[in-house]
Amino acid sequence: MKLSSFPTYKLTYFFIVISFSLLIVETCKSQTDGLFAFPVLNYDYLTSEIGMSGAFSSLPNPSISSAWYNPAQLGYKTDYSLALAISPYNDLFSTSSNISNVGLRFQQESRLFGNTIQWGISLHQFSLNSGELDITTIEHPEGGIGTINFIDKVQSLSIGLGTTIVKGLRLNAGYSLKKASYSTTIRDNTEMEDTFISCLMSDFGFITDVNIPELSNWQPMLFSKSINWTIRLSYTVRNIGKDVDVELDRFGKLPLPKTSILGFSTSFSIPHVFNDIQYDFLKLHISRDARNIDMSNYSRDVNISLFDQLFLGKTGFWNQINQGIRLDFIESIELSLGQIKRKFTDDSMLSYGLTLDLKGWKKFKLDQTFPLLKPITVRINQTLLTHKTLENTYFFGIEIGYRF
């Protein structure tokens, strides 16, 4: 392709977003004393993604909560136009604790300047209610001196778009505006203390997506079957905003946990045709995210480069690696395994996921027998999070989509 014929106007949007985002990052650096406001912002207790330990900054995911990891996810085409998801969970911290995850995602494909653009918008709320927890101190390790209850909420509005630059090369970009709030109630035998803080912040992200066979005109084969092979690289910055006044003398202002994420993923799929119905017989996804909480204004020697994290597997005190693998069978069953690696803990958190997707069953039977079901998609997720010092934690969620 000649340089003069390259559709440079397609890149204009991305250059504008990149420049604007870098300006935000430069002007919103937080001074820190090693503590952060709203640690819930880096939690990964979202049902459809926890099966792979939240390694979804670069791996396309149709979930309504995918923008939590990277708003550029909304630039991928999905099997629905509008989707609703509810993922309640109980018994994480105590029998009265609760995690809920609810959201709405609108997806569309449009023509812009004669080119196809996929874009999406999502509304999402993640909330964590600890329930009544017994307060323990060094002097009173057995507790009994009072109770504490905290409620964290994160509400977000996200938008993302994606387009093909040249055959086999795709770019996605996205932006999220978020509001986080934290309320706590402390009770003892004589008094009750309530605290409430909130803050606005933003995320941005990019995904570069390369389809190897399309870009190189080379078709890899396995057992005489053609293979689709895609690799992706992503960059995301989350929780950009000003320091938060927590109205407590011992803390003063706390920075947000601004986190940079470099992600890599690759996918292999074996397409097949049965009774004139084309489908993916098997898909394999491998994904890794390198996360780095910004400590540049605190101590410059505690952070490890994202490159060393992502490709060498190194971790530091303010760094972690989220990684996972997933197998999709006949577009109907997904099995996931994930791991979260942190240096400041002696072990890792492991996760396991099972997703039942109506997509495959609809193709072979339901669409022909019940035509009214053709525009409907349903995904049911069940995941398990394990850790040697925690009880097994189960998550359940359901997502329902409809194509206009």
Q: What is the mean pLDDT of residues 31-39?
A: 60
- Whether residue 209 has pLDDT greater than 60: yes
| Of the listed ranges 39-48, 108-117, 322-331, the one predicted with least confidence | 39-48
Eight-state DSSP code of residue 192: E
Neighbours of 297 (CB within 10 A): 12
- CA 149 distance to own-chain centroid: 27
Task: Report the C-alpha gap between 61 and 66 in whole angstroms.
Answer: 6
Pick the more confident residue, 299 or 40.
40
Spell out the long-range contacts of 276-281 with Cβ–Cβ below 8 A and sequence spacing 24 or more.
277/363, 277/364, 279/330, 279/331, 279/360, 279/363, 279/364, 280/328, 280/330, 280/331, 281/329, 281/330
Residue 241 corresponds to which amino acid?
G
Q: Are 326 and 22 contacting, i.e. CB atoms less than 8 angstroms apart?
A: no
Nearest one of 324, 323, 321 to 337, comparing CA atoms: 324
Pick the more confident residue, 313 or 337.
337
- 228-240 pLDDT, tens digit per residue, is 899 999 999 999 9
Number of C-alpha atoms within 13 angstroms, CB side, residue 40?
A: 24
The first and second tokens of residue 20, run together, are 């604007």
Instruction: Report pLDDT for 144.
Output: 65
Hey, what's the torsion of the CAs at 158, 350, 265, 179, to 10 degrees? 10
- Whether residue 287 has pLDDT greater than 80: yes
- Whether residue 69 has pLDDT greater than 90: yes
| Of the listed ranges 6-15, 22-31, 257-266, 358-367, the one predicted with least confidence | 22-31
Number of C-alpha atoms within 13 angstroms, CB side, residue 329?
A: 7
The predicted model scores a pTM of: 0.82
Domain 3-402: which topology?
Answer: Porin (2.40.160)
Instruction: Report pLDDT for 347.
Output: 62
Pick the more confident residue, 256 or 73.
73
- Give bridge partners of residue 152 from the DSSP assignment: 128, 182
The first and second tokens of residue 61, run together, are 């995911």
- pLDDT bin (cut points 50, 70, 90) of residue 192 is low
- Whether residue 146 has pLDDT greater than 90: no
Q: Are 169 and 162 contacting, i.e. CB atoms less than 8 angstroms apart?
A: no
Task: Report the C-alpha gap between 313 and 292 in whole angstroms.
Answer: 13
- Whether residue 285 has pLDDT greater than 70: yes
Q: What is the mean pLDDT of residues 244-264?
A: 76
- pLDDT bin (cut points 50, 70, 90) of residue 150 is confident
The first and second tokens of residue 403, run together, are 């194509």
Average pLDDT, the chain: 79
Pick the more confident residue, 344 or 7.
344
Instruction: Report pLDDT for 270.
Output: 85
- 306-316 pLDDT, tens digit per residue, is 666 676 666 66
Instruction: Report pLDDT for 107.
Output: 94
- Whether residue 317 has pLDDT greater than 50: yes
- pLDDT bin (cut points 50, 70, 90) of residue 336 is very high
| Of the listed ranges 279-293, 336-350, 373-387, 390-404, the one predicted with least confidence | 336-350
- 99-130 pLDDT, tens digit per residue, is 888 899 999 999 887 789 999 999 999 988 87
Q: What is the mean pLDDT of residues 293-301?
A: 57
Instruction: Report pLDDT for 6.
Output: 42
| Ordered DSSP codes for 63-129 | -TTGGGT-GGGGGS--S-SEEEEE--EE-SSSTT-EEEEEEEEEEEEEEETTEEEEEEEEEEEEEEE
| Of the listed ranges 137-141, 227-231, 351-355, the one predicted with least confidence | 137-141
Task: Report the C-alpha gap between 399 and 122 in whole angstroms.
Answer: 14
